[in-house]
Amino acid sequence: MVTDGEATTLLDLFSSSAILTDHPENASYLYVLPSLPLSDLLATPTALSTQSHTLTASLNALAHTSYPTILSLHNTSSALLNSLSSLDTSLNTLLDTALPALDDVARTFREKSGPTVIEERQRTRVVLEQYDKLRDLLDVPVLMDTCVRNGLYAEALALAAHATTALSALSTVRSQGGGGDGEPPESDGHTPPLPLVSALQAEIASSLHAMRLLLLGTLHEPGRKLPAFWKAVQFLRRMQVMPESELALAFVSARIDCLQNALQAVERDAGVSVTTGDNTITGNNTADREKEMDRRAEDVARFLKKYIDVWREGAYDLVTQYTTIFLERSSPHGSASSSHLPATTPLPDPVIKHTLPPTLLGLLLPTVKTYFGRAYPQLAPLATQLAYCSSATARIGMDFRLLLSPVITHAVIDGFTRDMHTGAEREWTTTLARHASPPSGGRSTPPSKWLVSTVQPLPVLSAIVVPPSSAAHAPPQVLTAFTPLAITLNTYLRALNRLRALAPMAALDGVRDALELGLARGGEALLRYARAWGVDTAERDIVRAVGAAYVRVLVPFLRRAVVEGVFGIACDPDASKKEEGDSEGGADKQGSGASALRDIVGNWEGWLLETGT
C-alpha cells in the first residue's frame, strides 16, 4: 500500500517527467491514478499493455487500410505550412516596404495633382448647383431668336434682361468660389468669364443685333403707318442702341428714302421725258401740232398729279409721325408704352426739325419746275392741286405757297412761248417760206396770188386801222381781206384762249414779251418779202396793204388782246403813241420783244412812207 508521502513523491516524479511536459492531456489521469485501489493499480499495467497492443493493432490496421489518406494529409499539412510561411513573408514585405512606398506616392500625387482635381470638383459642384439655371439659360438664345422672327420684341427684351441678370449672378458665384475648395480667388481680383457665359452673351447679342436690324428695317417699309413706327422706335429706345438724335435722324432718313423711292417709281411708271423738244412735234398743220402738244401735256399733267399726291401724302405723314414720336412727350401712346424708358427722354437735335421741310420740298419743287412747263396748257388743275397741297402742309408748319408763284409764272411763260413757237410762229414762218422761197426754186410767189382774198376787194391804206370802239375779244374785220393774216390771227387767238385757263398777273410781262418777239420775227420776215416785191408797181399796193394790216391792225389788236382780253387790265388808247415816243432810256425798261417789235414797226412805217408815191 502506498502511503501519502510516497504518493506525493510519485506525483512529483511524474510531474517532473516529460510525460506531463510533452503530453499535458495525461495530467488528469496521473492525478486520479494515486487515488485508485491497489487492485486497480496492479491491474493497470496489464490493462494498459492490452490496450496498447489493441491500439497498436488498430493503428497498424488503419495505416494499412488508409495509408493514401494519411499520405495526402501529410502532403497537405506540409503545403499548408509552406503557404503560411510564404504569407507571413509577404505580409512582412507589405508592411515593411510596399505600404511606405504607396504612402510616398500618394503624398506626391496629392501635392502635384491635388489643386487640379479640387478645381475640377469645384466646377462640377457649381455646375450641379446651377443646373436648373443653366438649363434655362441654354434655351434663351433659341427662344429669343424665335421671338425676334415672330415680331415678339417685348418678349425678346424680357428674355435678354433675364439672361443678363442670370449670367451676372453666375459670374458672381464663380468669382466668389475662387479656384477651389478653401482657395481664395486670383490675387489680382479679376476672374476671367466662363466660356459658357461668353458664348451665351455672344448669342444673345447676335439676336439683339438681328432685332435692331429688323426694327430699323421697319422704318424703311413703305406701307407702314404711325403705330408700327411708334412701336419700332419705342423698342429701339428700350434697347438703348443709339442716342435720341441719331434715332430721329435714322427715322427721318428712312422715311425720306421711302418717299423718294415712291416718287421715283411714279416717275418711272409715267415714262415722261423733259428732253423731248418742240422739234419733235410733227403735224401737217397747226391743229395737228396742237393736238400732239396737248396729248403730251396731258401725259405730263397726269404724271404730275400723281407725283404731287404721293408727295403730299408722304410728306404729311412723315412730319406728323416725326412730331408725334419725337417731339410730343404727353401723347397717350407715350404714357402707355414707355414704362421701360427713362423718366425724361431728351429731345432730338433741333437741326433735324429745321432741315426737314427744305429736304421734303427738295423732292417736290425741282421736279415741278422741270415738268410743269411741259404740262401747258393743263396747268390750271395742277396749280389748284399745288395750292391745296400747300394748304394741307401749312397745317403742319410747312407752307410753301410763296415758292409756287415763280414756278407757275415761269411755267406759264415757258408754255405760252412754246405754244407760240409751235403754233402761230411756225404756221406763219412755214407759209411765208413756202411762197417766198419755193422748194422747186425760181422766183417767189407774187403777193396777189396768196396774200389777199379773192372774194373781197383790197381796202385802201387809210382804212387799214383798228376801230377805236372795237372790243378786245372781237377780231378786226379788215383782216379778212388778207387770208394768211386771218389764219395767223386765228392761230394766235387759239394760243391766247389756251392761256386764259391760267394767267397769273406775274406772267404778264413775260407773255407779252414772248408775243411781241414772235410778232417781231414774223414782221421782219414779211418785210424782207415785201421789199423784194416793192419794186413791182403791180404788186406794190398789195404788199403795202398787207404790211399796214400787219403793223397797224394785227400787232395792236394782239397786244391789246393779251393785256386786256386775257389779263383784264385796261389799256391806254395812247399807249402805242407813248411807246413810239419813248426815249432810249425808257426803252431799256421794256423787254427784248417790245424793243424788237418797235424796231420792226418803225421799219415798216418807214418803208410804207418810202413807197407811198
Range with top average pLDDT, 36-50, 130-144, 577-591: 36-50
Asked, for residue 299, whether it belongs to a domain, the answer is: yes
| Lowest-pLDDT range of 238-252, 265-279, 593-607 | 265-279
358 and 429 co-located in one domain: no
Judged on CB neighbours under 10 Å (0-12, 13-18, 19+), 71 is exposed
In whole angstroms, give the CA distance from residue 154 to residue 91. 75
**pLDDT of 179:** 43
Yes or no: say if 530 and 524 are a contact pair by the CB < 8 Å rule.
no
Yes or no: say if 490 and 568 are a contact pair by the CB < 8 Å rule.
no
**pLDDT of 21:** 59
- Answer whether residue 184 shows pLDDT above 90: no
Residue 32: band (very low, low, confident or very high) from pLDDT cuts 50, 70, 90:
confident
State the total domains in the chain: 4
Asked, for residue 230, whether it belongs to a domain, the answer is: no
431 and 389 co-located in one domain: no
Average pLDDT over residues 80-103: 89
161 and 261 co-located in one domain: no
- Residues 578-608: tens digit of each pLDDT: 444 443 444 444 568 889 999 999 999 999 8
462 and 605 co-located in one domain: yes
435 and 487 co-located in one domain: yes
180 strand-pairing partners? 183
183 strand-pairing partners? 180
**pLDDT of 253:** 93
Helix/strand/coil (H/E/C) assignment for every residue in 440-467 = CCCCCCCHHHHCCCCCCCCCCHHHCCCC
| Lowest-pLDDT range of 181-185, 189-193, 440-444, 474-478 | 181-185
* DSSP-derived secondary structure letter, 581: T
246 and 386 co-located in one domain: yes
Judged on CB neighbours under 10 Å (0-12, 13-18, 19+), 193 is middle
In whole angstroms, give the CA distance from residue 445 to residue 447. 6
**pLDDT of 413:** 92
Instruction: Name residue, grid cell 404714357.
Output: 335
- Answer whether residue 47 shows pLDDT above 90: no
Residue 309: band (very low, low, confident or very high) from pLDDT cuts 50, 70, 90:
very high
**C-alpha dihedral sign at 209, 212, 218, 221:** negative
In whole angstroms, give the CA distance from residue 287 to residue 548. 27
- Residues 542-552: tens digit of each pLDDT: 889 999 999 99
483 and 599 co-located in one domain: yes
371 and 465 co-located in one domain: no
Yes or no: say if 414 and 375 are a contact pair by the CB < 8 Å rule.
no
- Answer whether residue 577 shows pLDDT above 50: no
Q: What's the helix, strand, coil split of the chain in %, to 5? A: 80, 0, 20
Name 308's Cβ contacts closer than 8 Å, sequence gap at least 6: 364, 368, 382, 385, 386, 389
- Answer whether residue 169 shows pLDDT above 70: yes
Strands, E, within 144-275: which ranges? Answer: none
Asked, for residue 589, whether it belongs to a domain, the answer is: yes
Full DSSP string of 401-423: HHHHHHHHHHHHHHHHHHHHIII
Average pLDDT over residues 258-270: 91
399, 427, 455: which is the final residue of a domain? 399
Name 297's Cβ contacts closer than 8 Å, sequence gap at least 6: 374, 375, 376, 377, 378
Phi, psi of 310 (to 5 degrees): -65, -40
State the CB neighbour count (10 A cutoff) for residue 560: 19
Residue 256: closest CA among 366, 169, 352, 331: 352
- Tell me the three cell numbers of residue 401: 405757297
Yes or no: say if 219 and 229 are a contact pair by the CB < 8 Å rule.
yes
Asked, for residue 78, whether it belongs to a domain, the answer is: no
391 and 473 co-located in one domain: no
Please state whether the peptide bond connecting residue 366 to the residue before it is cis, i.e. omega within 30 degrees of 0: no
Pick 268 or 134 by higher pLDDT.
268
Q: Is 180 helix (H, G, I), strand (E, B) or coil?
A: strand
321 and 424 co-located in one domain: no
Asked, for residue 222, whether it belongs to a domain, the answer is: no
Residue 191: band (very low, low, confident or very high) from pLDDT cuts 50, 70, 90:
low
- Residues 489-543: tens digit of each pLDDT: 998 998 899 898 888 999 999 999 999 999 999 999 899 888 888 777 778 888 8
In whole angstroms, give the CA distance from residue 398 to residue 316. 9
Asked, for residue 79, whether it belongs to a domain, the answer is: no
**pLDDT of 173:** 59
Full DSSP string of 330-373: S-HHHHHH-TTS-SSPPPPPHHHHHHHHHHHHHHHHHHHHHHHG
583 and 453 co-located in one domain: yes
State the CB neighbour count (10 A cutoff) for residue 174: 19
44, 65, 86: which is the final residue of a domain? 65
**C-alpha dihedral sign at 176, 181, 186, 187:** positive
**pLDDT of 41:** 80
- Residues 365-413: tens digit of each pLDDT: 999 999 988 888 889 999 999 999 999 989 888 888 899 999 999 999 9
Average pLDDT over residues 2-7: 53
Asked, for residue 461, whether it belongs to a domain, the answer is: yes
Residue 335: band (very low, low, confident or very high) from pLDDT cuts 50, 70, 90:
very low
**pLDDT of 513:** 93
Mean pLDDT, all residues of the chain: 81
Model-wide pTM > 0.75: no
Asked, for residue 185, whether it belongs to a domain, the answer is: no
Domain range for 358 is: 241-399
Pick 99 or 175 by higher pLDDT.
99
- Residues 198-240: tens digit of each pLDDT: 888 888 888 889 999 999 999 999 888 999 999 999 999 988 8
- Answer whether residue 180 shows pLDDT above 60: no
- Residues 100-128: tens digit of each pLDDT: 888 888 888 877 777 788 888 887 887 78
Phi, psi of 302 (to 5 degrees): -65, -40
- Residues 137-164: tens digit of each pLDDT: 888 888 888 888 988 889 988 888 888 8
- Tell me the three cell numbers of residue 115: 489643386
- Tell me the three cell numbers of residue 71: 499520405
Pick 612 or 300 by higher pLDDT.
300
Percent residues over pLDDT 70 in the chain: 82
| Lowest-pLDDT range of 180-194, 265-279, 522-536 | 180-194
- Answer whether residue 258 shows pLDDT above 90: yes
441 and 552 co-located in one domain: yes
Residue 451: CA count within 13 A, CB half-sphere: 27
Yes or no: say if 379 and 372 are a contact pair by the CB < 8 Å rule.
yes
Residue 275: band (very low, low, confident or very high) from pLDDT cuts 50, 70, 90:
low
